[in-house]
């Protein structure tokens, strides 16, 4: 196997080095089995040949994009595994302005795609996650993701036309209209939606090679709004109404704890790059100076320490349209007993949509991991109260191990509320943290020694939350091996999924363990 891998890909694209295998066998939260090889194909044909070679020798395949996930979806469960490093399959292949589509290789980052489209005044409807400087288009479709554009356009999986997928036998399947002879990827549906089948699958059914996404004109007229609320109830009431009204392209919020964490670790106005970005995005020298001055004067202490904060980005094709959206949104904030605060956070984020991923650790170098639940608006309060009850049950451990808990909140399109509990705890950082966080920032971190007891406590609380969410019937992004996918399915759905897995991957080599298939 080794010699054939080297012959196929070359010395520089195959690694057996311990440190590299260690890095590529972990995600943000956990380490998996130490993979035998890390292999980086440079073409789709090389990817196909790699899959065939691994299948012939009985090796599992674990595709890996930007590695920003935390649900064991990219960590091996077998030592006899090849981690497929997608970083060389990173090209923007075609920007078709006539048909309004863009085709990329699966290892293309959201940041690179955004930069390629920006000079043309175009973007994809959903245009990436906050970690998009590393997170890839293929990874987002495998795991699903939200953020930029989600308030109006939904998730990553909602915004794809077609996928070229390498199946377990090395063949290449094209979905959507491209699956028809003499056609191309311009429409998602051609018969049953095979494109949807290969989204959110964590690569259990195949490895994404090329992806075609829709394009839309960039909305150049924007408004940035921030509000604060005295309780989760008021905040959720306002966010859900904004969601139902389809007013904001992004609508996200923080509880008081997580807001405090962001203020400690985000330099905001003190960061020259952030301030420069805000000024550049303002348009016009006078407006830029005004916006820069507002951010600088606001500093970090513009939200009451006890308040829940919510941040909105409103965009439209015209100034009048953006103003009308803003006024409607302000009415909703007031009706939900919210108050306006300085809009520094959405301004800074929008001016640097794909900044460094330093927030994957706490302000002093604490470990960080979330868990999340997606629910209809009618269940938002119920899932919050359920989460609070689990935290209360584990209050002693949370205090003993100095575990910080907070919430990130968001809405997706008109019907989904996202609640993401977040954990911080003192513990040793791993190879992935060292590889991902900016070196200069990493050097400033206090850091902590290994803390297995605290890590075990966080694991226990997360597992209990996931079990409770399963009982409530919540949905999730990046299912990986952490969420109870198979256990939560109706029998008919489970039987169909088992049948699909057996048909597409009869030997179980495609990312074993994810979605409850095979080893966990």
State whether 301 and 261 are in the same domain.
yes
State whether 12 and 65 are in the same domain.
yes
Lowest average pLDDT, out of 167-176, 292-301, 355-364, 382-391, goes to: 292-301
State whether 173 and 194 are in the same domain.
yes
Closest C-alpha to 29, from 84, 69, 64? 69
The answer to whether position 520 is within a domain reads no
Q: pLDDT class for 326, splitting at 50, 70, 90?
A: very high
Domain boundary, last residue among 49, 68, 87: 87
Please report the pLDDT score of residue 277 as a whole number. 53
Residue 295 has pLDDT above 70, yes or no: no
Mean pLDDT of 181-197: 94
Mind listing the pLDDT tens digit for each residue in 116-171?
999 999 999 999 999 999 999 999 999 999 999 999 999 999 999 999 999 999 99
Report pTM.
Answer: 0.92
Residue 294 has pLDDT above 80, yes or no: no
Residue 312 has pLDDT above 80, yes or no: yes
The answer to whether position 516 is within a domain reads no
The answer to whether position 493 is within a domain reads no
Mean pLDDT of 212-217: 98
The answer to whether position 483 is within a domain reads no
Helix axes of 272-282 and 344-351: crossing angle, nearest 10 degrees: 80
Q: How many CB atoms lie within 10 A of CB 313?
A: 22
The answer to whether position 508 is within a domain reads no
Q: What is the percent of the chain where pLDDT is above 90? A: 88
Cβ atoms of 78 and 36 within 8 Å: the answer is no
**Comparing 196 with 287, which gets the higher pLDDT?**
196
Q: Domain residues for 423?
A: 360-472
State whether 340 and 370 are in the same domain.
no
Residue 159 and residue 147: Cα distance in Å, rounded? 13
Residue 298 has pLDDT above 70, yes or no: no
Please report the pLDDT score of residue 52 as a whole number. 98
Cβ atoms of 139 and 66 within 8 Å: the answer is yes
Domain boundary, last residue among 351, 380, 409: 351
Q: pLDDT class for 272, splitting at 50, 70, 90?
A: very low
CATH number of the structural domain spanning residue 409 = 3.30.300
As given in the structure block, the two tokens for residue 301 are 């202490």
The answer to whether position 478 is within a domain reads no
Find where tokens 């759905």 sit. Answer: 493
Mean pLDDT of 37-50: 98
Q: How many CB atoms lie within 10 A of CB 286?
A: 9
The answer to whether position 461 is within a domain reads yes
CATH number of the structural domain spanning residue 213 = 3.30.465.10
Mean pLDDT of 42-61: 97
Mean pLDDT of 251-269: 74
Residue 493, Cβ density class (10 Å: 0-12 exposed, 13-18 middle, ≥19 buried):
exposed
As given in the structure block, the two tokens for residue 219 are 């909305």
Residue 439 has pLDDT above 60, yes or no: yes
Mind listing the pLDDT tens digit for each residue in 76-131?
999 999 999 999 999 999 999 999 999 999 999 999 999 999 999 999 999 999 99
194 CB contacts (<8 Å, ≥6 apart)? Answer: 173, 175, 176, 179
CATH number of the structural domain spanning residue 14 = 3.30.43.10
Considering the chain, what is the average pLDDT of its residues?
92
Residue 265 has pLDDT above 60, yes or no: no
**Could you give phi then psi for residue 370, rounded to 5 degrees?**
-100, 175
What are the E-state strand segments in 35-121? Answer: 37-39, 60-64, 81-85, 92-96, 101-105
The answer to whether position 418 is within a domain reads yes
State whether 309 and 394 are in the same domain.
no
Please report the pLDDT score of residue 259 as a whole number. 80
State whether 190 and 281 are in the same domain.
no
- Compute the half-sphere exposure of residue 60: CA atoms within 13 Å on the CB side of its CA: 26
State whether 111 and 207 are in the same domain.
yes
State whether 96 and 145 are in the same domain.
yes
Residue 14 and residue 317: Cα distance in Å, rounded? 48
State whether 225 and 105 are in the same domain.
no
Please report the pLDDT score of residue 133 as a whole number. 97
Q: What is the percent of the chain where pLDDT is above 70? A: 91
Rg (CA), the chain: 23
Q: Total domain count for the chain?
A: 4
State whether 42 and 98 are in the same domain.
no
How far lies 301's CA from each of 268, 291, 308, 351, in Å? 11, 17, 14, 20
Q: pLDDT class for 262, splitting at 50, 70, 90?
A: low
Please report the pLDDT score of residue 261 as a whole number. 74
Q: pLDDT class for 519, splitting at 50, 70, 90?
A: low
State whether 314 and 339 are in the same domain.
yes
State whether 239 and 332 are in the same domain.
yes
Domain boundary, last residue among 87, 119, 150: 87
Closest C-alpha to 362, from 446, 432, 306, 434? 446
């Amino acid at each position: 196997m080794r010699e054939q891998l080297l012959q196929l890909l070359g010395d520089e694209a195959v690694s057996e080095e311990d440190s590299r295998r260690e890095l590529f066998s972990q995600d943000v939260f956990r380490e998996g089995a130490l993979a035998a090889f890390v292999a980086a194909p440079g073409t789709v044909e090389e990817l196909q040949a790699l899959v065939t070679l691994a299948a012939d020798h009985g090796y599992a395949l674990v595709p890996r994009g930007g590695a920003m996930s935390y649900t064991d979806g990219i960590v091996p469960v077998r030592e006899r595994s090849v981690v497929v490093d997608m970083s060389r399959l990173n090209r923007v292949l075609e920007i078709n302005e006539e048909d309004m589509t863009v085709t990329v290789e699966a290892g293309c980052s959201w940041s690179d795609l955004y930069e390629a489209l920006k000079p043309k005044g175009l973007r994809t409807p959903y245009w990436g996650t906050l970690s998009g400087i590393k997170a890839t288009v293929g990874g987002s479709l495998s795991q699903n993701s939200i953020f930029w554009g989600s308030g109006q356009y939904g998730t990553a999986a909602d915004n794809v036309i077609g996928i070229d997928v390498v199946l377990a036998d090395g063949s290449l399947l094209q979905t959507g209209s491209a699956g028809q002879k003499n056609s191309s990827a311009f429409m998602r549906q051609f018969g049953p939606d095979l494109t949807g089948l290969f989204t959110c699958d964590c690569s259990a059914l195949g490895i994404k090679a090329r992806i075609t996404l829709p394009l839309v004109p960039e909305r150049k007229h924007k408004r940035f709004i921030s509000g604060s609320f005295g309780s989760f109830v008021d905040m959720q009431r306002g966010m859900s109404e904004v969601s139902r009204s389809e007013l904001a392209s992004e609508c996200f919020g923080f509880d008081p704890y997580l807001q405090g964490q962001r203020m400690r670790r985000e330099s905001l106005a003190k960061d020259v790059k952030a301030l420069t970005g805000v000024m550049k995005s303002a348009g016009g020298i006078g407006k830029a100076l005004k916006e820069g001055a507002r951010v600088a004067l606001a500093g970090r202490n513009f939200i009451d320490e006890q308040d829940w904060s919510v941040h909105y980005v409103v965009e439209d094709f015209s100034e009048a349209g953006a103003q009308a959206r803003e006024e409607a949104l302000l009415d909703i904030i007031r009706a939900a007993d919210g108050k306006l605060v300085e809009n520094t956070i959405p301004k800074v984020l929008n001016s640097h949509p794909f900044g460094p991923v330093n927030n994957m650790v706490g302000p002093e170098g604490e470990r960080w991991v979330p868990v999340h639940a997606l629910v209809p608006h009618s269940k938002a309060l119920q899932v919050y109260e359920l989460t609070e009850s689990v935290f209360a049950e584990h209050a002693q451990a949370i205090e003993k191990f100095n575990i910080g808990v907070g919430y990130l909140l968001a809405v997706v399109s008109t019907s989904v509320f996202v609640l993401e509990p977040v954990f911080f705890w003192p513990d040793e950082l791993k190879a992935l943290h060292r590889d991902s966080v900016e070196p200069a920032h990493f050097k400033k971190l206090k850091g902590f020694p290994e803390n297995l007891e605290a890590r075990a406590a966080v694991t226990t609380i997360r597992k209990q939350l996931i079990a409770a969410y399963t009982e409530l019937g919540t949905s999730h992004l990046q299912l990986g091996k952490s969420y109870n996918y198979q256990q939560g399915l109706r029998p008919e759905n489970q039987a169909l999924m088992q049948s699909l897995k057996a048909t597409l991957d009869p030997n179980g080599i495609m990312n074993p363990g994810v979605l409850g298939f095979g080893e966990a």
